[in-house]
Amino acid sequence: MAGEIKPEILIPIHSEHSDLYLAPLRGTDISVNLPVLGQTLEL
């Protein structure tokens, strides 16, 4: 779905396995930012 929407940045916040977004989107123009529990995410 992210490949069709084509966001500049993807932040998977409602996912138990957010790292699974990395491989399929590698080589695309979509930047995947994985949040870390307890850390601030700068946009």
> Tell me, what's the pLDDT at 33?
93
Torsion angle, CA of 31/39/42/13, rounded to 10 degrees?
50
Strand partners, 10: 32
pLDDT above 90: residue 1: no
Neighbour count for residue 32 (Cβ, 10 Å): 19
Report which secondary-structure segment, H or E, holds 31.
strand 31-32
Task: State pLDDT tens for residues 2-41.
Answer: 888 889 999 998 988 999 999 999 999 999 999 898 999 8
